[in-house]
Amino acid sequence: MSSLCQNLLMSLAEPTRLHSDDPAASIEAVRGMIEARLAAIVPSAQTWPVRLHEAQRHALLSPGKRFRPLLTVFIAKGCGVSAEAELSAAIDVGCVSEMVHAASLILDDLPCMDDAALRRNQPTTHIAFDESTAILTATALLNRAFGVLARLPQVSPVARVEMIDLLSYAVGSKGLIAGQMADLANTDHSASIAEIERLNMLKTGALFEFAIEAAAILGKASSAQRAALKDFSHHLGLAFQLLDDLKDTLMNDDDAGKTTDRDIGKATILALAGSQAAQDRLLGYIDSAKDALSRAELIGGAMLEAVLDRQFAFVNHK
Amino acid sequence: MSSLCQNLLMSLAEPTRLHSDDPAASIEAVRGMIEARLAAIVPSAQTWPVRLHEAQRHALLSPGKRFRPLLTVFIAKGCGVSAEAELSAAIDVGCVSEMVHAASLILDDLPCMDDAALRRNQPTTHIAFDESTAILTATALLNRAFGVLARLPQVSPVARVEMIDLLSYAVGSKGLIAGQMADLANTDHSASIAEIERLNMLKTGALFEFAIEAAAILGKASSAQRAALKDFSHHLGLAFQLLDDLKDTLMNDDDAGKTTDRDIGKATILALAGSQAAQDRLLGYIDSAKDALSRAELIGGAMLEAVLDRQFAFVNHK
């Protein structure tokens, strides 16, 4: 680990810094550590086969909010994780969510799926490279995510296999992939709000569940805390997907930094209930998420509220 | 586990059955158990989303020789694994290789890669379904493979994370995916035999290495045995890829059960050295593999020779 990264970890380990009056600075410090770790996990762009690693770095290291890793780190911290080595593991677990997220975006953007050309203000991976490279890059990122979990420093093998099992569940037939399959076939406008929520839970909620539950494992959370955090992740997943749908409809490509209007013709809450009702519902999800979070009684809960407010600034400013 | 499967496991655990005078019957019995376990690991074709699971079963359960799983089971057995629960774990690990193999074939066959329409005497997954389903199916199979390793019955968490780490290595930037990237760009006919062997090791050898090394972990092989088995997997990988190249050139689609002539224009040992020299080289690889295997001093080594002879029957009968 670089000495810069080590210094940041040590300052993060001091409660005074983390619970300082400047949550934004704390969030930025952690985000910087996540960026540094992501850049270190993936082979350099000079490593053979060069094109594969250039594409991985293109997809993974393009500027992002790193919302899932931030959740993992601050929830682990909120559960009492404070030793340097344990925080380092929380950052790695955060990176795992980000790698899986990046992999899912590469695939979602393919011509045979959402056929999107822009993502995070840059060409999507199959546009910047080509389709076969994009598909192999996504596969490589998912594959490496499991490798990172298998090697988590200072985490017991029992906890590691628990997290690997969780990730496989979150990605698989009852998670991300099932959600993407269903989303591709989602043109049934007789679907109910409950059915769309179920789809959104798979498509988006499953990876939040992993990011949050893995943090609870790292933080050895009590069963009451884990139950509250599960409820938190449920509402957070719904909120996040609805926010994404709102952005797709209400923002243009430049402001969203990605190809928008991909939802046209799809059964979304927005399409069913209209923009105002969808925004009201989003605020309701966020309130429920915050309620659940407060029930988890984490240390420094205000930090997590700041992470949420930062992510949902689009709604707050509307 | 079904009672049929349990009965088979119990008979397999009896040394008299395994080392019987009829290796072909023993191989078929184990192959049957592998088939049954593969069918149980993947969700039923009625499970939502139905199309995803139909496609998984199409790709994974189509008739195959199950060479990698057979290697895993008989090597684990050769290292002394005999308890029913441990044999059951060896079958699961064997299924993992088969799932990853099936995933890699789905991707290799895509229009943006080898663009093949026939595999194992049936339409490739993107032909039988569609491209997005094929890509998500491959991703789901790889993902589930890690999930199976995380939950291996009767295997210590330490051994499980070791195998997960091995699989991630075998699939990643120094294995299968790197090999496939390089193969797609492989048109350099100034490549040397050594360079092509290196590519073949990645493309094919890496997964053999996993199948064999994982068996050594299950069987608690000595370090001398592991070294010999590593040498075995090296030569086996080279042999297998060269056999595949020979089939691509010398067989038609019907006999091979898959789209052939995919190697035209590629730098293969066959293209460089010609058919006869390639066949001689293949026999050399097989001899080296058998030598390494005998150095591993496994129990019932004759069974493994029978597994090899069955796989390489194409060469023996030429």
Q: Please tell me the predicted confidence (pLDDT) of residue B10.
A: 62
Spatial distance between the Cα atoms of A74 and A15, rounded to a whole number of angstroms: 12
Choose the weakest-confidence range: A105-114, A273-282, B231-240: A273-282
What pLDDT tens digit does each residue of chain B (318 aa) get? 455 556 656 656 554 454 457 899 999 999 999 999 999 999 999 999 999 999 999 999 998 899 999 999 999 999 999 888 889 999 999 999 999 999 999 999 999 999 999 999 999 999 999 999 999 999 999 999 999 999 998 899 999 999 999 999 999 999 999 999 999 988 777 788 888 899 989 999 999 999 999 999 999 999 999 999 999 999 999 999 999 889 888 888 888 888 888 888 888 888 888 889 999 999 999 999 999 999 999 998 889 999 999 999 877 644
Q: Which chain A residues contact residue B54 at CB under 8 A?
A: none
Q: Residue A165 is nearest to which of B150, B158, B169, comparing CB atoms?
A: B150
Q: Which chain B residues contact residue A146 at CB under 8 A?
A: 146, 164, 167-168
Note whether A178 contacts B49, CB cutoff 8 Å: yes
Answer yes or no: is pLDDT of A310 > 70. Answer: yes
Q: Please tell me the predicted confidence (pLDDT) of residue B3.
A: 55
Answer yes or no: is pLDDT of A190 > 90. Answer: no
Q: Within the 276-315 window of chain B, which residues sit less than 8 Å (CB to CB) from chain A? A: none
Average pLDDT over residues A112-138: 96
Q: What angle do CA A32, A38, A42 make, to 5 degrees?
A: 155
Spatial distance between the Cα atoms of B294 and A284, rounded to a whole number of angstroms: 68
- Upper half-sphere CA count for residue B119 (Cβ side, 13 Å): 26
Answer yes or no: is pLDDT of A14 > 60. Answer: no
Angle between helices A23-41 and A301-311 (to 10 degrees): 70
Average pLDDT over residues A170-178: 96
Element (H, E) at A67: helix A67-78
Instruction: Give the 3-state secondary structure of residue A103.
Output: helix
Note whether B168 contacts A53, CB cutoff 8 Å: no
Answer yes or no: is pLDDT of A15 > 50. Answer: no
A233 vs A253, residue with greater confidence: A233
Over chain B, what HEC string results?
Answer: CCHHHHHHHHHHHCHHHHCCCCHHHHHHHHHHHHHHHHHHHCCCCCCCCHHHHHHHHHHHHCCCCCHHHHHHHHHHHHCCCCCHHHHHHHHHHHHHHHHHHHHHHHHHCCCCCCCCCEECCEECHHHHCCHHHHHHHHHHHHHHHHHHHHCCCCCCHHHHHHHHHHHHHHHCCCCHHHHHHHHHCCCCCCCCHHHHHHHHHHHHHHHHHHHHHHHHHHCCCCHHHHHHHHHHHHHHHHHHHHHHHHHHHHCCHHHHCCCCCCCCCCCCHHHHHCHHHHHHHHHHHHHHHHHHHHHCCCCCHHHHHHHHHHHCHHHHCC
Answer yes or no: is pLDDT of A100 > 70. Answer: yes
Instruction: Give the 3-state secondary structure of residue A79.
Output: coil
Say if residues A37 and A96 touch (Cβ distance below 8 Å). no
Phi-psi region of A278 (alpha: psi -120 to 50; beta: other; left: phi over 0): alpha
Read off the pLDDT band of A255 (50, 70, 90): confident
Q: Residue A112 is nearest to which of B132, B165, B178, comparing CB atoms?
A: B132
Average pLDDT over residues A101-124: 96
Q: Within the 6-45 window of chain A, which residues sit less than 8 Å (CB to CB) from chain B? A: 43
Say if residues A261 and A248 touch (Cβ distance below 8 Å). yes
Q: Which chain B residues contact residue A45 at CB under 8 A?
A: none
pLDDT tens digits for A217-240? 999 999 999 999 999 999 999 999
Element (H, E) at A81: none
CATH of region B3-316: 1.10.600.10
Dihedral of CA atoms A157, A163, A166, A167 in degrees, nearest 10, equals -120
Note whether A158 contacts B157, CB cutoff 8 Å: yes
Q: Please tell me the predicted confidence (pLDDT) of residue B264.
A: 82
pLDDT tens digits for A47-91? 999 999 999 999 999 988 999 999 999 999 999 998 888 899 999
Note whether A132 contacts B184, CB cutoff 8 Å: yes
Note whether A143 contacts B171, CB cutoff 8 Å: yes
List Cα–Cα distances, B239 to A287, B103, B244, B269, B285, in angstroms. Answer: 61, 21, 9, 11, 5
CA distance B106 to chain A (A): 12
Nearest CA in chain B to A160: B161
Chain-centre distance for alpha carbon A273: 26
Chain-centre distance for alpha carbon B267: 23
Per-domain residue ranges for chain A?
A: 3-316
pLDDT tens digits for A19-36? 457 899 999 999 999 999
Say if residues A196 and A268 touch (Cβ distance below 8 Å). yes
Phi-psi region of A121 (alpha: psi -120 to 50; beta: other; left: phi over 0): left
Spatial distance between the Cα atoms of A292 and A79, rounded to a whole number of angstroms: 15
Q: Please tell me the predicted confidence (pLDDT) of residue B187.
A: 74
Q: Please tell me the predicted confidence (pLDDT) of residue B35.
A: 97
Note whether B167 contacts A146, CB cutoff 8 Å: yes
Note whether A172 contacts B144, CB cutoff 8 Å: yes
What does the buried/exposed string (b/e) look like for B239-248 if buried means 16 or more CB atoms within 10 Å of the residue's CB? Answer: bbbbbbbbbb
Q: Please tell me the predicted confidence (pLDDT) of residue B12.
A: 61
A112: contact with B, CB 8 A cutoff: yes
Q: Please tell me the predicted confidence (pLDDT) of residue B16.
A: 40
CA distance B158 to chain A (A): 6
Using a 10 angstrom Cβ sphere, with 0-12 exposed, 13-18 middle and 19 or more buried, the burial of residue B280 is exposed
Q: Within the 133-192 window of chain A, which residues sit less than 8 Å (CB to CB) from chain B? A: 133, 135-136, 138-140, 142-144, 146-147, 149-151, 156-158, 160-162, 164-165, 167-169, 171-173, 177-178, 180-182, 184-185
Note whether A177 contacts B110, CB cutoff 8 Å: no
Q: Which chain A residues contact residue B181 at CB under 8 A?
A: 49, 51-52, 133, 136
Strands A122-123 and A118-119: antiparallel
Interface test with B, best of A132, A154, A163, A201 (most B CBs within 10 A): A132
* Residue tagged 């390494």 (tokens): B292
Using a 10 angstrom Cβ sphere, with 0-12 exposed, 13-18 middle and 19 or more buried, the burial of residue A91 is buried
Q: Which chain B residues contact residue A112 at CB under 8 A?
A: 130-132, 135
Size of the A and B interface in Cβ pairs below 8 Å: 143
Strand partners, A119: A122
Contacts of A55 (CB under 8 A, 6+ apart): A125, A128, A129, A133, A134, A137
Dihedral of CA atoms A270, A274, A277, A282 in degrees, nearest 10, equals 20
Chain-centre distance for alpha carbon A144: 16
Q: Please tell me the predicted confidence (pLDDT) of residue B15.
A: 47
Average pLDDT over residues A154-172: 97
